[in-house]
Structure 1
């Protein structure tokens, strides 16, 4: 999948964001004292109707264990969620508990809008997963579930090509290119060894394996022009070897719905996706797609600097009048076995390793396969991925746009890297 810019931070609420910075200046965490008497918490989330119904069951289960706490749900779809939240926070009317996304975590925490979560038990989290909710060393969010960047392979297309996929614990980026090119050459016209390998997550893996990163912990670019030119050079190599489709196909695939993309329509033998997309892609393709590790620089999975991506987070408002109770709710949905059985993998494979194990038998086949993979790579993780800074979505858009310039052969990797770096730096100012 190519680079896709996530929706810009607080997209239609520029005025609210400006007010937010003024309202929250100097705002700190509320005193950690348990409230006396009945408490009402407001809880906001986005998602499908299925998630809404499941979340209502989570609330009911929590209230049954905590009869003095009433939780009122506020939910909607992604498109309007962030505008509404920005306005609520700026007007000092934020929900007590907030379903949070990585793209917004840095923005809200830096403005003082989020409560430091000191009372949520993260002892059953892999340390990089726990750390993914930290900003400036403080825990402002707790991962609800995890995904990983993977290579999904269509066994039917691979078999038809006569090409054998390398051992995924030992393959390199060169192996990925050579294997995909061989599949393209041995397949009918219109079938390619792999879809585009130029997503921000793939780039981050590449950078991490080269001792760099997409972003740093202090909100700067974690790579330089030379590193980006090398990444674009790899794109050019895959273009020239025909391991990937022509640029026009890459462009069309990026804008297609997931059930119409090349892997779903049996035109790509492989492609890089997030692990939680296995079920939808397998269903669309009619194939039992295989999960494989992404390649590494040296052909050692232990040095691949793999990372878990938080599918989403739990956060709380810094202005909540009930910080103890808000954290109690977050702890419940994170660590309670009953909550795990209700939520299953709707918000990602549970970050709590014990909950993952407890619900494994109740997961769909695709989710069970994903959960097993998540556990399998737990000892191969690199350090936590820093929370994306404000402006990160614009950086992702820039890198993707110039990647396409390379695939269309309109710019050399070096020229594309120079132009992309200039724009990316400006995006973070």
Structure 2
């Protein structure tokens, strides 16, 4: 996940939340209707589907009105940090990655045990549910399950006359070889792969070596050697023209929508991304795309890929209407009616009954995602170690340090040391 510049402001959030206990997150109309606010990130297609879900919920619950609010991924967490610090966060908050732990530890999220009579989780597997549980407290429930993957455009491979990778056996050396071969055969402006440097890929790469981005006791777990090897590889790809030049990569970071990506524009053969992005990327590209496992899974110390909650729904600890908020979250994750609208946009549904209910109405891309998750499940590595408080700064740190490498302002060894130092400071190691 790419994260907020503003989250550092949460260092004061504990005090500010206490001072904001009046809780301006929601309200009520003169006729007694309860009004809830629901915050999430996404694009216009997700917005349209989400509004249909809200409409379906309101039809079944005429006494509750839900106001949805969304922005793009890069802006979402900046805005949320400001809202939380000012006591103005939505009643129902969408989170992911380390954010449930970050906000939960700061007292911003409701302990869902307090609304367990309304919000049921018995049909959601423990592996998915634990993505929202920290210190024995359930702070959120998963929308669905997905996994990091390589999204492949077979048409670009065919155009270059290059064979698709053997996903069960390909190594990182195979990946580099295929990327270099593509680079020599693709037209100018089309690339083998978008720059793969992102926190989830560092975690995969490190886990394959028996490491992880973080240790279970809240320290930096990835070694400088692993980081150096990673950046040596990405510089090699850049120099071969397999990835875009540094200036284009820097620009792409600011354009997170699927249609703005190289893959969504039909200008990349491969892109590392989450499996639930297949539908949006395929629609943007106007071509059928495929999901394959990341390189190095069969030859590492252990598999690096893991099953992860796509997103997490949490409830504002200061909500004036926690029971009604819980009722809405229950509808989002447990209702087949909601599932038939959302389908796999927020991951393959975590609720087993919802998965069964939507199977017959899944489109080609959603079925491909479900098959990918089903195939991966017995091959996946151990659960991910969720980063400690402060780790939500890591993606921004990585973007800055990666730019130093790609623009040749730092050598990989210097960047590795700087990354470890800055992340260690962010998590107060």
User: TM class, shorter-chain normalised?
Assistant: 0.7 to 0.9
Q: In the alignment, what sits opposite 1:74?
A: 67
Are positions 1:6 and 2:6 aligned together?
no
How far the C-alpha of 1:360 sits from its partner, in A, is 2.5
User: What's the offset of the Cα at 1:418?
Assistant: 1.2
Change (3 A) 1:331 1:258: closer
Give the 3 Å change call, closer, same or farther, for CA 344–279 of structure 1 in structure 2: closer
Q: How does 1:62-141 map to 2 (within 5 A)?
A: 63=61, 70-78=63-71, 79=75, 83=79, 87=83, 91=87, 97-102=92-97, 104-118=99-113, 119=116, 120-141=119-140
Cα distance, 1:272–1:41 mapped onto 2, change above 3 Å: same
Q: Is the 8 A contact 2:57 2:331 kept in 1?
A: no
Partner residue in 2 for 1:20? 17
Paired position in structure 1 for 2:40: 46
Asked whether the equivalents of residues 41 and 97 of structure 1 are also in contact (C-alpha less than 8 Å), the reply is: no
Deviation string 1:362-416 (CA, Å, 9 cap, x unpaired) is 2333233223322322222333334444433432222232223333333222121
Any residues of structure 2 matched to 1:292-311 within 5 Å, and which?
292-299=292-299, 303-311=302-310
Q: Secondary structure at the match of 2:192?
A: coil
| Aligned 1:251-270 pairs, distance under 5 A | 251-256=250-255, 258-270=258-270
Alignment of 1:199-348 (within 5 A): 199-256=198-255, 258-299=258-299, 303-318=302-317, 327=326, 329-348=328-347
Could you tell me how far apart the structure 2 residues matched to 1:142 and 1:84 are? 18
Assess, with a 3 A threshold, how the Cα gap between structure 1 residues 97 and 401 changes in structure 2: closer, same or farther. closer
What is the root-mean-square deviation of aligned Cα atoms in Å? 3.4
Distance in 2, matches of 1:116 and 1:73, equals: 21
Q: Matched residues in 2 for 1:342 and 1:43: separation?
A: 20
1:35 alignment partner in structure 2 = none
Q: Secondary structure at the match of 2:191?
A: coil
* 1:423 and 2:422 aligned: yes
Instruction: State the alpha-carbon separation in 2 of the partners of residues 406 and 286 from structure 1.
Output: 33
TM, length-normalised to structure 2: 0.81
Instruction: Determine helix, strand or coil for the equivalent of 2:143.
Output: strand
Q: Structure 1: where are the runs of 5+ without partners?
A: 25-37, 65-69
1:152 aligned to 2:145?
Answer: no
The Cα of 1:146 is off from its aligned counterpart by 2.9
Contact 1:337 1:358 in 2 (8 A): yes
Q: Which residue of 1 aligns with 2:359?
A: 360
Distance in 1 (alpha carbons) for counterparts of 2:136 and 2:234: 35
SS in 2 for 1:193: strand
TM superposition shift of 1:61: 5.8
| 2-structure distance, mates of 1:9, 1:384 | 28
Deviations, residues 171-228 of structure 1 (Å, cap 9, x unaligned): 1222111111112123334333222111211111111212222234554323232332
SS at match of 2:305: coil
User: Which segment drifts farther, 314-323 or 402-411?
Assistant: 314-323
> In 2 relative to 1, CA 62–378 (structure 1 residues): closer, same or farther, beyond 3 Å?
farther
- Compute the displacement of 1:125 (Å): 3.5
Aligned residues: 406
Structure 2 gap segments, 5+ residues each: 22-31
| SS of structure 2 residue aligned to 1:355 | helix
State the 1:233 CA deviation.
2.7
3-state DSSP class of the match of 2:147?
strand
Distance 1:19 1:426, change over 3 A: same
Q: Contact conserved, 2:58 with 2:66, CA < 8 A, in 1?
A: no
Whole-Å separation in 2 of the counterparts to 1:85 and 1:246? 33
